[in-house]
């Protein structure tokens, strides 16, 4: 049987188009933060796409505050810009789950083999609890963290100093100022001063550790209380007396560069940073950094708890594909993939018990056991010395946090820069926060 050449060409074209349509990949759009671990995820995503040719992944990589604002604005109105968002326990606990902005992650719909391979029970209990609301899991942790004290062992030894296992903030100040030598490019302590509310965690935990709180039991702001002013003043004075220059523009990425270049003696910050300082590809201080518990001033254990995590937006039209990707990016196999390509020390920390049983990781990460211990010790439910109506250690778990904390971050950064007095900053934040809390109905009188 013969076919007209033109007709056969048209039939062939139709078949080709039909086949292409059948195998057209679904695009999953992910909003994530521009930190080193998330960039590794982006670099490794072609492995996922090769294993899942029906899914194409696109990333929007954003700075901290821009990410938070962008994803909040989008999910609140079902904008549909993103299928997957990078978030923290704060978002889950402060209303995103309650408002149905995120899809609960239903592992029961997976096969037993898929459930066993992912192993939800392997996720560290404290981290999993922070991402759970009303007994449902709403995000999977990409990496988890608490906080601890990082310090240069070689500098301490040379100066005849000893870092206590459980330092107080008073001891940290004394040690930092002894090692502060800016004329030789050495700063006693690295302290954030950047005006971003997402990077307030060190200040929040310091304020709690001094016995202060952000609200009393009736939700009245406490920024002008004597305890709060004492803690805030301590932080500001420590930055000015023994910290890095230009602190008002320094955030975690900037301080990481300073520490990795060997210019910082002490840094109190996220446990996840340790893996980067131990990586010879990014650090000049490999094997020179020691680790101790986060400082306190007698009120609590000083450590925060959070996790950059991946959640599926409820308005996403690609629920299954999005769920498949976040399982891959937070899986045991992904951790092994990172280890194979970048070294065991770069395995995502703070998420899985199995990571802390991995001989290669334990050998490469001298901070591993302490990291797991401080994560398990962190108490999101009781952040302050006295009873308070809020939860949260890295943030305060109410929707309004993003509003008043943004103002607080601007004021505190202005103080660090010498553009505002402590009293003026705290009074301004007090007034603005009172207005926010009254408008939201927290304050009844």
In this structure, the chain runs to a length of: 445
Query: Among the three residues 325, 342, 365, which one is the final residue of a domain in this structure?
Result: 365
Q: 192 and 135, same structural domain? A: no
In a domain, 10, yes or no: no
Tokens of 415: 């103080």
Task: Please state the domain count of the chain.
Answer: 2
CA-based angle 5:9:11, to the nearest 5? Answer: 120
| Statement to judge: residues 100 and 234 lie in one domain | no
What are 296's strand-pairing partners? 168
Residue 119 has pLDDT above 80, yes or no: yes
- Decide: helix, strand or coil at residue 395: coil
Q: How confident is the model at residue 3 (pLDDT cuts 50, 70, 90)?
A: very low
Residue 375, in any domain of the structure? no
- Same-domain status, 299 and 392: yes
152 shares a domain with 88: no
Instruction: Map tokens 């904008």 to a residue.
Output: 79
In a domain, 262, yes or no: yes
Assigned domain for 4 exists: no
| Range from 4-18, 68-82, 127-141, 184-198 carrying the lowest mean pLDDT | 4-18
Q: In this structure, are 99 and 203 located in the same domain?
A: no
Distances (CA, A) of 437 to 157, 204, 336, 434: 49, 19, 46, 5
145-173: per-residue pLDDT in tens?
999 999 999 999 999 999 999 999 999 99
Regarding whether 187 and 208 lie in a shared domain, the answer is: yes
- One domain, residues 289 and 312: no
Residue 372 domain flag: no
pTM for this model (two decimals): 0.90
User: pLDDT digit string (tens) for 321-369?
Assistant: 999 999 999 999 999 999 999 999 999 999 999 999 999 999 999 999 9
Give the pairing type, strands 132-133 and 136-137.
antiparallel
For residues 321 and 10, is the Cβ–Cβ distance under 8 A?
no
Strands (DSSP E) found in 232-364 = 266-270, 289-293, 306-312
Last residue of a domain, one of 365, 388, 407: 365
* Domain presence at residue 151: yes
Nearest-angstrom CA–CA distance, 28 and 82:
8
Decide if 393 contacts 219 (C-beta within 8 A): no
Do 188 and 126 belong together in one domain? no
Query: In this structure, are 232 and 140 located in the same domain?
Result: no
3-state per-residue secondary structure call for 328-358: HHCCHHHHHHHHHHHCHHHCCCCCEHHHHHC
- Do 409 and 274 lie in one domain? The reply is yes
Residue 338 and residue 346 in contact, taking contact as beta carbons nearer than 8 Å: yes
Q: What is the pLDDT of residue 304?
A: 95
Flag whether 277 is in a domain: yes
Residue 32 belongs to a domain? yes
Shared-domain flag, residues 177 and 202? yes
CB 124 within 8 A of CB 144: yes
Q: Are 427 and 395 in contact (CB under 8 A)?
A: no
Is the distance from CB of 155 to CB of 180 less than 8 angstroms?
no
Q: What is the pLDDT of residue 20?
A: 45
Same-domain status, 180 and 264: yes
233 vs 228: CA distance, rounded Å:
8
Structural domain for 162, as ranges: 147-303+380-439
CATH number of the domain enclosing 195:
3.40.190.10
Per-residue pLDDT tens for 45-58? 999 999 999 999 99
Residue 23 confidence (pLDDT): 55
């Amino acid at each position: 049987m013969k076919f007209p050449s033109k007709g056969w060409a048209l039939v062939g074209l139709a078949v080709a188009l039909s086949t292409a349509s059948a195998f057209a990949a679904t695009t999953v759009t992910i909003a994530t933060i521009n930190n080193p671990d998330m960039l590794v995820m982006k670099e490794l995503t072609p492995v996922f796409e090769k294993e899942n040719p029906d899914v194409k992944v696109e990333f929007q990589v954003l700075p901290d505050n821009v990410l938070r604002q962008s994803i909040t604005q989008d999910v609140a109105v079902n904008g549909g810009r993103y299928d997957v968002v990078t978030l923290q326990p704060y978002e889950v606990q402060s209303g995103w789950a309650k408002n149905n902005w995120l899809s609960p992650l239903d592992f029961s719909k997976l096969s037993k083999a898929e459930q066993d391979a992912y192993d939800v029970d392997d996720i560290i209990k404290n981290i999993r609890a922070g991402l759970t609301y009303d007994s449902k899991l709403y995000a999977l942790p990409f990496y988890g963290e608490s906080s601890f004290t990082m310090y240069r062992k070689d500098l301490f030894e040379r100066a005849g100093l000893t870092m206590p296992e459980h330092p107080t903030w008073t001891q940290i100040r004394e040690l930092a100022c002894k090692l502060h030598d800016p004329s030789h490019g050495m700063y006693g302590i690295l302290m954030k001063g950047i005006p971003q509310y997402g990077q307030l965690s060190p200040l929040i935990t310091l304020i709690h550790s001094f016995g202060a709180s952000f609200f009393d039991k009736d939700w009245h702001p406490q920024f002008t209380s004597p305890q709060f002013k004492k803690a805030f003043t301590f932080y500001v004075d420590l930055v000015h007396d023994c910290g890095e220059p230009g602190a008002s523009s320094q955030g975690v990425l900037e301080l990481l560069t300073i520490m990795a270049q060997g210019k910082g003696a002490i840094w109190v910050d996220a446990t996840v940073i340790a893996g980067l300082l131990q990586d010879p590809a990014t650090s000049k201080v490999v094997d020179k950094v020691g680790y101790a518990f986060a400082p306190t001033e007698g009120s609590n254990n000083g450590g925060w708890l959070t996790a950059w995590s991946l959640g599926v937006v409820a308005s996403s039209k690609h629920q299954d594909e999005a769920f498949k990707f976040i399982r891959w990016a937070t899986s045991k196999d992904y951790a092994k993939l990172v280890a194979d390509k970048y070294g065991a020390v770069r395995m995502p920390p703070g998420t899985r018990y199995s990571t802390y049983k991995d001989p290669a990781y334990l050998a490469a990460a001298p901070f591993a056991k302490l990291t797991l211990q401080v994560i398990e010790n962190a108490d999101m439910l009781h952040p302050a010395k006295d009873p308070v109506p809020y939860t949260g250690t890295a943030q305060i778990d109410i929707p309004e946090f993003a509003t008043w904390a943004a103002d607080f971050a601007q004021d505190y950064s202005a103080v660090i820069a010498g553009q505002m007095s402590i009293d003026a900053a705290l009074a301004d934040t007090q007034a603005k926060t009172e207005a926010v809390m009254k408008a939201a109905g927290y304050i009844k009188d």
